[in-house]
Amino acid sequence: MIKSLMDWGIHCLQAGNLQGALHSFEQALWLDANYAEGYLFLGLAQQQSGDRQSAQQSFTKAIALNPQDARFYFYRGELYRQQQAYHQAIADYRQAIALKPDWSEPYSPLGELLFQMGNFPELIPILEALDRAGAGSDTLYFQLGVAYRCTNQIDLAKQNLERVAHLPSARLELKEIYRQKVMDWHFWMMNDAVRNQAYDLALQELVTPASTVLDIGTGSGLLAMQSARAGAKQVFTCEMEPIIAEMAEKIIMRNGYRQVIKVITGDSNLLQIPQDIPERADILVTETFGAWLPAEGALQTIYHARQHLLKPEAKIIPCAGVMYVVLLEAAELHGRYFAGYSSGFDLSWFNHISPYADYKFIGQIGQHEYRLLTEPVPLPRLDFYHAPPQLPELHLELEITNSGTIHGICSWFDLWLSDRHMITTHPDRSLAHNAPSYGQWVQLLEEPLTVEAGDTKELKVTPDGCSLV
Ligand SMILES: C[S@@+](CC[C@H](N)C(=O)[O-])C[C@H]1O[C@@H](n2cnc3c(N)ncnc32)[C@H](O)[C@@H]1O
């Protein structure tokens, strides 16, 4: 009797006869008030009739009668989701999965909700399980890509997003990854003909057919390919940013140097011989310098390479660098980041909420109005065959040669790629048509300082920059 009532109720439910369905399920439950399945179907009929409160009670009753049936939680979860009670819905979907992990139904709506709520750590295993079960779809790969990106698993994010790169939303996500991982200066450097030529000439001077070259900081693969073109027997090039390393590999292949150049994804400071490179290299070439020369870790990188990756008689490109420091008047540049007197009012208190406190400007100061208030002072020459792993701290006394207002401390450098080839980031080149891809480094002072010619100022230089004492 109960079975035929249930069958008729289900038939009515499927046919959209909700009154008939409700009546049949209620009759069945009148015959057996502990029939859990009956409450499930009654709940479904009530839900479809718009009586969500009764439906919720029915599903809850079904669960109370048989807490081991995953379906009851799933359908109550669906009801909660309809009611926008997302936390309860998630809890029910989770319970359904815990009871019956190989039942695929709850995974998708749970994934959807976790995605909406930004709960990516929990979402990832669910989407991975769906993918393994063959339920991969554009939406799934997109969501997985976003979830990996938001949990900083960039390689996996990229792989998944690339699978659905035909979706505009996926392309936007990929762009966001590139924005985070591929700095704009890569493009400036690739197009810095003066720099590129100087490296090329230095490599042509030093590379022989017997040379093994180690290029640290692959980027586009440019210096590695220059090394190969100069005739190196073998080139090892390492790049710590996997997205860039992968792209370099493609570029190297397209340019026909795959046989000679091996790209290693990783930080050179972790490379080992012979695990990563079969033997120590004859030549090191690297371009891992910042506008403040050691800012990208070049001194540590070169020091480590000398100790662990190069032959004792290896050549190093560049062989030396000279940093300069100078005090700078640059009111217009300063005014972009700090407030002072305007229209006769003192607005400098605004600096207390400035996001630019301790701001280091990196760019072409020649594109702003500036005056040098001291002679440029060279720091002790950094000979990369012997330089320590970090810039030694030092104090300098600078004599003011032009009266004015100090707005910042500026630094640039000369880089000697060989004894004959030097590139400079001197601000005089800022306005040239072939301005260097590196800018100058300027530590702006929050409070400008008026000085007279003949005054002296003490400067403290540390590995990270310099400041007035
Ligand atoms: C300034 S770019 C130079 C790219 C290319 N060599 C060129 O000259 O056009 C420096 C690259 O080196 C990488 N890099 C910096 N230090 C590194 C290190 N210690 N090991 C591996 N890669 C490094 C950065 O991720 C960046 O892509």
Q: How far apart are CA 61 and CA 429, in angstroms?
A: 80
pLDDT at 376 over 70: yes
pLDDT at res. 435: 65
Q: Which stretch of DSSP H or E encloses residue 57? A: helix 52-65
| Alpha carbon nearest to ligand 1 atom 17, residue | 217
pLDDT at 436 over 70: no
- pLDDT tens digit sequence for 74-106: 999 999 999 999 999 999 999 999 999 989 899
Q: How far apart are CA 220 and CA 226, in angstroms?
A: 11
Closest ligand 1 atom to residue 223 Cα is 6
Tell me if 223 sits within 8 A of 287, measured CB to CB. Answer: yes
Tell me the residue type at 160. Answer: N
Q: Does any ligand 1 atom lie closer than 6 A to the CB of residue 192? A: no
Q: Which pair of structure tokens corresponds to residue 255?
A: 């340019």
Tell me if 439 sits within 8 A of 449, measured CB to CB. Answer: no
pTM equals 0.82
Q: Tell me the C-alpha to C-alpha distance, in Å, between residue 253 and each of 204, 260, 295.
A: 22, 10, 31
pLDDT at res. 350: 93
| Mutation test residue for ligand 1: of 186, 189, 288, 293, the one with most atoms within 8 Å of CB | 288
pLDDT at 15 over 70: yes
Q: Please report where in the chains the tokens 């009797």 appear, as a residue.
A: 1
pLDDT at 424 over 70: yes
Distance 172 CA to ligand 1 centre (A): 26
| Alpha carbon nearest to ligand 1 atom 11, residue | 217
pLDDT at res. 357: 85
Q: Which pair of structure tokens corresponds to residue 201?
A: 């000439």
pLDDT at 129 over 90: no
Residues 345-360 have a mean pLDDT of 91
